Amino acid sequence: MGNLVQVQERKRLFIGLLSVTLVLAGLLTAAIWYLIFSPEKSGFYKLVLLLLAMALIGLILLAGFGLAGIVLTIVRSRPFVPFQGPMRVALNTFFPLVLVLGRAFRIDLDRIKRSFIEVNNNLVRARQIKIQPRQLLLLAPHCLQNNECVHKITGSVDNCHRCGRCSVNKILDLRDKYGIRVGMATGGTLARKYVVDYRPKAIVAIACERDLTSGILDANPIPVLGVTNLRPNGPCNNTDFLPEQLAWAIEFFVK
Protein backbone atom coordinates (compact mmCIF):
# COMPACT_ATOMS: atom_id res chain seq x y z
CA MET A 1 0.00 0.00 0.00
CA GLY A 2 2.86 2.37 0.79
CA ASN A 3 4.39 1.90 -2.65
CA LEU A 4 1.01 2.49 -4.31
CA VAL A 5 0.52 5.77 -2.43
CA GLN A 6 4.01 6.88 -3.40
CA VAL A 7 3.31 6.22 -7.10
CA GLN A 8 0.05 8.18 -6.91
CA GLU A 9 1.84 11.11 -5.30
CA ARG A 10 4.41 11.07 -8.09
CA LYS A 11 1.70 11.31 -10.73
CA ARG A 12 -0.09 14.09 -8.88
CA LEU A 13 3.09 16.14 -8.64
CA PHE A 14 3.61 16.49 -12.38
CA ILE A 15 -0.11 16.85 -13.16
CA GLY A 16 -0.46 19.50 -10.44
CA LEU A 17 2.51 21.52 -11.70
CA LEU A 18 1.24 21.22 -15.27
CA SER A 19 -2.14 22.58 -14.13
CA VAL A 20 -0.52 25.52 -12.35
CA THR A 21 1.59 26.23 -15.43
CA LEU A 22 -1.54 26.41 -17.58
CA VAL A 23 -3.19 28.77 -15.08
CA LEU A 24 -0.14 31.06 -15.10
CA ALA A 25 -0.10 31.00 -18.91
CA GLY A 26 -3.77 32.00 -18.84
CA LEU A 27 -3.03 34.91 -16.52
CA LEU A 28 -0.22 36.04 -18.83
CA THR A 29 -2.63 35.92 -21.76
CA ALA A 30 -5.17 37.98 -19.80
CA ALA A 31 -2.48 40.59 -19.05
CA ILE A 32 -1.55 40.77 -22.74
CA TRP A 33 -5.22 41.11 -23.66
CA TYR A 34 -5.52 44.01 -21.23
CA LEU A 35 -2.55 45.76 -22.87
CA ILE A 36 -4.19 45.41 -26.29
CA PHE A 37 -6.93 47.82 -25.22
CA SER A 38 -4.55 50.32 -23.65
CA PRO A 39 -5.01 53.70 -25.43
CA GLU A 40 -1.30 54.56 -25.11
CA LYS A 41 -0.17 51.74 -27.45
CA SER A 42 0.24 52.11 -31.22
CA GLY A 43 -1.82 50.11 -33.70
CA PHE A 44 1.16 47.98 -34.74
CA TYR A 45 2.01 47.22 -31.12
CA LYS A 46 -1.58 46.16 -30.46
CA LEU A 47 -1.55 43.93 -33.54
CA VAL A 48 1.58 42.15 -32.34
CA LEU A 49 0.05 41.69 -28.89
CA LEU A 50 -3.18 40.40 -30.43
CA LEU A 51 -1.34 37.78 -32.48
CA LEU A 52 0.67 36.74 -29.42
CA ALA A 53 -2.48 36.47 -27.30
CA MET A 54 -4.25 34.38 -29.96
CA ALA A 55 -1.26 32.02 -30.22
CA LEU A 56 -1.18 31.63 -26.43
CA ILE A 57 -4.92 31.00 -26.26
CA GLY A 58 -4.63 28.28 -28.90
CA LEU A 59 -1.69 26.66 -27.11
CA ILE A 60 -3.42 26.83 -23.72
CA LEU A 61 -6.61 25.29 -25.12
CA LEU A 62 -4.66 22.45 -26.73
CA ALA A 63 -2.67 21.81 -23.57
CA GLY A 64 -5.84 22.03 -21.47
CA PHE A 65 -7.51 19.33 -23.58
CA GLY A 66 -4.25 17.38 -23.34
CA LEU A 67 -4.25 17.62 -19.55
CA ALA A 68 -7.86 16.40 -19.49
CA GLY A 69 -6.88 13.52 -21.77
CA ILE A 70 -3.96 12.58 -19.51
CA VAL A 71 -6.16 12.51 -16.41
CA LEU A 72 -8.94 10.56 -18.14
CA THR A 73 -6.47 8.03 -19.56
CA ILE A 74 -4.88 7.41 -16.15
CA VAL A 75 -8.24 7.19 -14.35
CA ARG A 76 -9.84 4.89 -16.96
CA SER A 77 -6.65 2.89 -17.71
CA ARG A 78 -7.70 3.14 -21.35
CA PRO A 79 -6.43 5.47 -24.08
CA PHE A 80 -8.49 8.58 -24.77
CA VAL A 81 -7.97 8.61 -28.53
CA PRO A 82 -9.53 12.01 -29.44
CA PHE A 83 -7.02 13.85 -27.22
CA GLN A 84 -3.80 12.09 -28.30
CA GLY A 85 -2.52 15.16 -30.18
CA PRO A 86 -3.29 17.65 -27.38
CA MET A 87 -1.72 15.24 -24.86
CA ARG A 88 1.56 15.35 -26.80
CA VAL A 89 1.35 19.16 -26.85
CA ALA A 90 0.81 19.25 -23.09
CA LEU A 91 3.72 16.91 -22.36
CA ASN A 92 6.27 18.10 -24.92
CA THR A 93 5.61 21.84 -24.93
CA PHE A 94 4.94 22.47 -21.27
CA PHE A 95 7.43 20.05 -19.69
CA PRO A 96 10.28 22.64 -19.69
CA LEU A 97 7.90 25.20 -18.15
CA VAL A 98 6.92 22.71 -15.46
CA LEU A 99 10.60 22.34 -14.56
CA VAL A 100 10.98 26.14 -14.36
CA LEU A 101 7.94 26.32 -12.08
CA GLY A 102 9.27 23.48 -9.94
CA ARG A 103 12.60 25.26 -9.58
CA ALA A 104 10.76 28.42 -8.52
CA PHE A 105 8.93 26.41 -5.84
CA ARG A 106 12.22 24.76 -4.84
CA ILE A 107 10.97 21.28 -5.67
CA ASP A 108 13.68 18.73 -6.41
CA LEU A 109 13.83 18.41 -10.21
CA ASP A 110 14.45 14.66 -10.03
CA ARG A 111 11.13 14.32 -8.17
CA ILE A 112 9.36 16.16 -10.99
CA LYS A 113 11.08 14.01 -13.63
CA ARG A 114 10.16 10.81 -11.77
CA SER A 115 6.58 12.04 -11.71
CA PHE A 116 6.72 12.71 -15.45
CA ILE A 117 8.12 9.20 -16.06
CA GLU A 118 5.33 7.69 -13.96
CA VAL A 119 2.68 9.64 -15.89
CA ASN A 120 4.26 8.55 -19.19
CA ASN A 121 4.38 4.90 -18.10
CA ASN A 122 0.71 5.01 -17.14
CA LEU A 123 -0.22 6.48 -20.52
CA VAL A 124 1.78 3.79 -22.33
CA ARG A 125 0.33 0.96 -20.24
CA ALA A 126 -3.19 2.19 -20.98
CA ARG A 127 -2.59 1.55 -24.69
CA GLN A 128 -2.12 -2.23 -24.20
CA ILE A 129 0.46 -2.51 -26.99
CA LYS A 130 1.58 -6.01 -28.04
CA ILE A 131 4.45 -6.53 -30.49
CA GLN A 132 6.88 -9.20 -31.65
CA PRO A 133 10.08 -9.52 -29.54
CA ARG A 134 12.35 -8.25 -32.34
CA GLN A 135 10.24 -5.09 -32.57
CA LEU A 136 11.16 -4.13 -29.00
CA LEU A 137 14.36 -2.24 -28.24
CA LEU A 138 15.88 -2.29 -24.76
CA LEU A 139 18.07 0.75 -24.27
CA ALA A 140 20.48 0.58 -21.35
CA PRO A 141 23.21 2.97 -20.15
CA HIS A 142 26.86 1.95 -20.39
CA CYS A 143 27.29 2.88 -16.70
CA LEU A 144 25.72 -0.50 -15.85
CA GLN A 145 29.09 -1.98 -16.83
CA ASN A 146 31.74 -2.35 -14.14
CA ASN A 147 34.03 0.65 -14.51
CA GLU A 148 37.11 -1.59 -14.25
CA CYS A 149 36.03 -3.79 -17.17
CA VAL A 150 38.26 -3.57 -20.27
CA HIS A 151 35.68 -4.90 -22.75
CA LYS A 152 33.87 -2.29 -24.82
CA ILE A 153 30.17 -3.11 -25.03
CA THR A 154 28.71 0.09 -26.51
CA GLY A 155 29.48 -1.09 -30.04
CA SER A 156 28.25 -4.61 -29.38
CA VAL A 157 26.79 -5.87 -26.12
CA ASP A 158 28.02 -9.36 -27.07
CA ASN A 159 31.56 -8.21 -26.21
CA CYS A 160 30.52 -8.77 -22.60
CA HIS A 161 32.24 -11.86 -21.16
CA ARG A 162 29.34 -12.40 -18.74
CA CYS A 163 31.56 -12.66 -15.69
CA GLY A 164 28.72 -11.51 -13.43
CA ARG A 165 30.59 -8.56 -11.89
CA CYS A 166 28.01 -6.07 -13.19
CA SER A 167 24.42 -5.79 -14.43
CA VAL A 168 25.20 -6.26 -18.12
CA ASN A 169 24.98 -10.02 -17.60
CA LYS A 170 21.37 -9.56 -16.42
CA ILE A 171 20.63 -7.56 -19.58
CA LEU A 172 21.95 -10.40 -21.74
CA ASP A 173 19.94 -12.95 -19.77
CA LEU A 174 16.76 -10.97 -20.46
CA ARG A 175 17.68 -10.56 -24.12
CA ASP A 176 18.23 -14.31 -24.51
CA LYS A 177 15.03 -15.13 -22.64
CA TYR A 178 12.72 -12.82 -24.61
CA GLY A 179 14.53 -12.48 -27.97
CA ILE A 180 14.52 -8.68 -27.94
CA ARG A 181 17.08 -6.21 -29.30
CA VAL A 182 19.49 -4.45 -26.93
CA GLY A 183 21.50 -1.25 -27.27
CA MET A 184 24.04 -0.04 -24.69
CA ALA A 185 24.29 3.73 -25.04
CA THR A 186 26.77 6.30 -23.77
CA GLY A 187 24.26 9.10 -24.24
CA GLY A 188 21.40 10.49 -26.27
CA THR A 189 23.24 10.53 -29.60
CA LEU A 190 24.03 6.80 -29.57
CA ALA A 191 20.56 6.00 -28.20
CA ARG A 192 18.97 7.85 -31.13
CA LYS A 193 21.24 5.93 -33.52
CA TYR A 194 19.96 2.62 -32.13
CA VAL A 195 16.39 3.84 -32.64
CA VAL A 196 17.15 4.78 -36.26
CA ASP A 197 19.00 1.50 -36.95
CA TYR A 198 16.51 -0.88 -35.31
CA ARG A 199 13.30 1.05 -36.01
CA PRO A 200 11.50 -0.39 -32.97
CA LYS A 201 7.76 -0.20 -32.44
CA ALA A 202 8.31 0.21 -28.70
CA ILE A 203 11.19 0.89 -26.31
CA VAL A 204 12.04 -0.08 -22.76
CA ALA A 205 14.71 2.25 -21.38
CA ILE A 206 16.87 2.13 -18.26
CA ALA A 207 18.43 5.44 -17.25
CA CYS A 208 18.57 8.20 -14.69
CA GLU A 209 15.69 10.67 -14.45
CA ARG A 210 17.35 13.26 -16.70
CA ASP A 211 18.15 10.85 -19.53
CA LEU A 212 14.80 9.06 -19.29
CA THR A 213 12.74 12.24 -19.58
CA SER A 214 14.74 13.55 -22.53
CA GLY A 215 14.65 10.12 -24.18
CA ILE A 216 10.88 9.77 -23.76
CA LEU A 217 10.34 13.17 -25.36
CA ASP A 218 12.85 12.50 -28.18
CA ALA A 219 11.35 9.09 -29.03
CA ASN A 220 7.80 10.40 -29.34
CA PRO A 221 5.54 9.01 -30.86
CA ILE A 222 7.29 5.66 -30.19
CA PRO A 223 5.96 4.40 -26.84
CA VAL A 224 8.63 4.18 -24.13
CA LEU A 225 8.41 2.48 -20.74
CA GLY A 226 11.01 4.03 -18.45
CA VAL A 227 12.83 2.16 -15.68
CA THR A 228 14.81 4.41 -13.34
CA ASN A 229 18.25 2.98 -12.58
CA LEU A 230 19.75 2.42 -9.13
CA ARG A 231 22.82 4.46 -8.21
CA PRO A 232 24.38 2.98 -5.05
CA ASN A 233 27.79 4.41 -6.02
CA GLY A 234 26.55 7.75 -7.29
CA PRO A 235 25.57 8.85 -10.80
CA CYS A 236 27.16 7.14 -13.83
CA ASN A 237 29.23 4.75 -11.72
CA ASN A 238 28.47 1.02 -11.52
CA THR A 239 24.71 1.58 -11.64
CA ASP A 240 22.12 -1.19 -11.38
CA PHE A 241 18.42 -1.93 -11.90
CA LEU A 242 15.71 -4.20 -10.54
CA PRO A 243 15.52 -7.26 -12.87
CA GLU A 244 11.89 -8.00 -11.99
CA GLN A 245 10.88 -4.43 -12.81
CA LEU A 246 12.64 -4.58 -16.17
CA ALA A 247 11.22 -8.03 -16.96
CA TRP A 248 7.71 -6.75 -16.23
CA ALA A 249 8.21 -3.82 -18.64
CA ILE A 250 9.45 -6.19 -21.37
CA GLU A 251 6.57 -8.60 -20.84
CA PHE A 252 4.08 -5.76 -21.12
CA PHE A 253 5.07 -5.26 -24.78
CA VAL A 254 6.14 -8.72 -25.92
CA LYS A 255 3.56 -11.24 -27.06
Dump pLDDT digits (tens) for 85-133.
999 999 988 999 999 999 999 999 999 999 999 999 999 999 999 999 9
Instruction: Please state, in angstroms and rounded to a whole number, the distance separating the CA atoms of residues 139 and 150.
Output: 21
The average pLDDT across 242-251 equals 95
In three-state secondary structure terms, 114 is helix
pTM value is 0.89
The predicted-structure confidence for 188-210, as pLDDT tens digits, reads as follows 889 999 999 999 999 999 999 99
d(CA 108, CA 48): 37
220 with 88: CB under 8 angstroms? yes
| 3-class DSSP assignment, residue 207 | strand
- Can you tell me the distance from the alpha carbon of 211 to that of 226, in angstroms, rounded to the nearest whole number? 10
Can you tell me the distance from the alpha carbon of 224 to that of 101, in angstroms, rounded to the nearest whole number? 25
Give the separation between CA 228 and CA 113, rounded to whole angstroms: 10
Tell me the longest C-alpha to C-alpha distance in the chain: 76
Nearest one of 124, 85, 146, 127 to 204, comparing CA atoms:
124
